Amino acid sequence: MITVDDALKHLFSLVTPLNSETVPLKDAAGRVLAADAVARRDQPPFAASAMDGYAVSGPAAHPGAQFDVIGEAAAGHGFAGHVRAGQAVRIFTGAPVPEGADRVVIQEDVTRDGDRITLGDNLGDNTHIRPVGADFKTGDRITAPRVLRPADIALLASMNIGAVTVSRKPQVALISTGDELVMPGEDPGPDQIIASNTFGLKAMLDGIGAQARILPIARDTRASLEAAFDLARDADLVITIGGASVGDHDLVGDVTESLGVKRAFYKVRMRPGKPLMAGRMGDAVMIGLPGNPVSAMVCGHVFVIPVIRAMLGLGAQRSSRLTARLAHDLPAGGPREHYMRAQVDGGAITPASRQDSALLSVLADANALMIRPADDGPRKAGEMIEYLAV
Ligand SMILES: Nc1nc2c(c(=O)[nH]1)N[C@H]1C(S)=C(S)[C@@H](COP(=O)(O)OP(=O)(O)OC[C@H]3O[C@@H](n4cnc5c(N)ncnc54)[C@H](O)[C@@H]3O)O[C@H]1N2
Ligand code: MOO
């Protein structure tokens, strides 16, 4: 059995980052920017008023000063003339500040009588003008790689970038294996249960920028499993679930081997998730996840998410760990690195009382996988311990 870190290293060595494609900006949220985006203009492109008021020459703006209003500047419609001594231009938020003016006095500080204004007593120092390029300048860059968040999309739009270069979405084929499984919504026989793992994993992987496809369930025969692999031919990542252990009906290892998969490893010193395997299947990475539902989801967090991120060009890094304070004492741990379903609340972490890897309800109640290193000694309440947020 190898360690989690070594298994991850093997997995990363199987990954080649995917190529890129160009997508319209409106479809780019959550995608990974694959080439720097370069601003095509200054923003604002002109000195702009930040408030509704009157544009005047700054030095003349003192309490009681009077000006003649000679025109108007609105957003989208600037004032063409020049503002001279004793003159003001009515101005609105977002409008270009006219030539000769370098200050906007907000309308709350002005009394207007016909076309004449008088400034009030509390003018302050703020010019209420946003200089050219205050937000960004032509040539400013958003650097790749970067997962595009809504704020990035708004910034790209403002830079007048209508389409962006992003990493292609990893295509993932998810194959459940086992005669006991039926799809959600179907009518299970007395010895059957519902396939849950492919659904949980699709949700997890689609959520980080992959495109996962749930294939028909492979039955416990070589022919059925081979047919499923055939359907997965164009995937970047082929994931099987179940059939990975040592039972008589656990066929994934045998079948993948006969299909030419060179196994990079089998079995990891972790709990849950021990019977994990991985290798290369043609151009694709193949990962065989254990069937127990919590094991499959934990392996998704620990291994599959980092693999997808590496394919997206985000680097070869394990999932980021946080730390929390143990809420109570723990007895010594076991020989495998243990990802315990846990609750983090106000900085304190409490592992669930039941840790059986079949219990999806416990996983759904958890917001953390608390990580106990292999052969961990007893722990005291208050000690800091690492976890993955889930
Ligand atoms: N003698 C031993 N038995 C087992 C060992 C072992 O070392 N020696 N390891 C145990 C561990 S740990 C795990 S994890 C399981 C994993 O076994 P498999 O990967 O072969 O998984 P299956 O036997 O096919 O299924 C296990 C369990 O999970 C259910 N299952 C499978 N696929 C799905 C799915 N898509 N959705 C929902 N549930 C699924 C399946 O019905 C079984 O109940 O082996 C232990 N045994
Ligand atoms: O490793 Mo199994 O995955 O402990 O349940």
Q: Based on the domain organization, do 123 and 148 belong to the same domain? A: no
Question: pLDDT by residue (tens digit) across 339-375?
Answer: 999 999 999 999 999 999 999 999 999 999 999 999 9
Q: Is residue 317 part of a domain?
A: no
Interface confidence, given as ipTM, is 0.96
316 in any annotated domain: no
- The CATH number linked to 202 is 3.40.980.10
Give nearest CA residue, ligand 1 atom 31.
291
Contact (CB, 8 A) for 275 and 267: yes
Q: Which atom of ligand 1 is nearest to the CA of 217?
A: 35
| Three-class secondary structure of residue 189 per DSSP | coil
**130, 147, 182 - which closes a domain:** 130
Residues 254 and 375 in one domain: no
Instruction: Give the pairing type, strands 262-266 and 348-351.
Output: unpaired
Q: By alpha-carbon position, which residue is closest to atom 4 of ligand 2?
A: 272
Nearest CA to ligand 2 atom 2: 272
Q: How many domains does the chain have?
A: 4
What is the 160 CA–ligand 1 centroid distance (Å)?
52
Residues 107 and 230 in one domain: no
Residues 278 and 350 in one domain: no
- Please list the alpha-helical segments (H only) found in 207-353: 222-231, 252-258, 293-299, 305-311
The answer on 326 and 228 residing in a single domain is no
Q: Per-residue pLDDT for 244 more than 90?
A: no
pLDDT reported for residue 249: 78
pLDDT tier at 58, thresholds 50, 70, 90: confident
Ligand 2 atom with least separation from CA of 270: 1
**CATH of residue 109:** 2.170.190.11
Do 336 and 305 share a structural domain?
no
Domain span holding position 139:
29-42+135-167
Torsions phi, psi for 204 (to 5 deg):
-65, -45
Are 175 and 304 members of one domain?
yes
